[in-house]
């Protein structure tokens, strides 16, 4: 993404209370390095429960940790 450029993402899910809608739009700031942030907006079915995780991980000059969290945090939480 170039400076000031952004993109949009959105989706829906369901809970026992109805439909859940979400959206996001990361925007690259003025720093002279690529966006290293990651975001998660997803649902998982566990037995009879549908669970959602919505999170943003700030990369701070590297995406190693933010990418790891994006891939593994939800599963790790559910396995505890």
pLDDT greater at residue 5 or residue 23: 23
Flag whether 16 is in a domain.
Answer: yes
pTM score: 0.64
Answer whether residue 3 is part of any domain: no
What is the C-alpha to C-alpha distance for residues 15 and 39, in angstroms, rounded to an integer? Answer: 21
Does some domain include residue 33? yes
- Tell me what percent of the residues of the chain surpass a pLDDT of 70: 85
CB-side neighbour CA atoms (13 Å) of 79:
5
pLDDT digits (tens, 9 = 90+) for 20-41: 777 777 777 777 777 778 888 8
Task: Using alpha carbons, list the distances in angstroms from residue 68 to 2, 26, 31, 37, 64.
Answer: 24, 19, 23, 11, 6
In-domain check, residue 4: no
Q: Is residue 26 part of a domain?
A: yes
Q: Is 1 a member of any domain?
A: no
Domain of 47? 9-79
Please give the tally of structural domains in the chain. 1
> What pLDDT, on a 0 to 100 scale, did the predictor assign at position 72?
92
């Amino acid at each position: 993404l170039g400076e000031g450029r952004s993109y949009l993402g959105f989706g829906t899910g369901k809970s026992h209370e109805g439909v859940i809608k979400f959206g996001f739009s990361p925007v690259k700031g003025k720093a002279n390095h690529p966006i290293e942030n990651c975001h998660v907006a997803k649902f998982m079915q566990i037995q009879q429960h549908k669970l959602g995780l919505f999170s943003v991980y700030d990369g701070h000059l590297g995406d190693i940790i933010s990418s790891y969290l994006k891939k593994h945090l939800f599963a790790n939480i559910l396995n505890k």
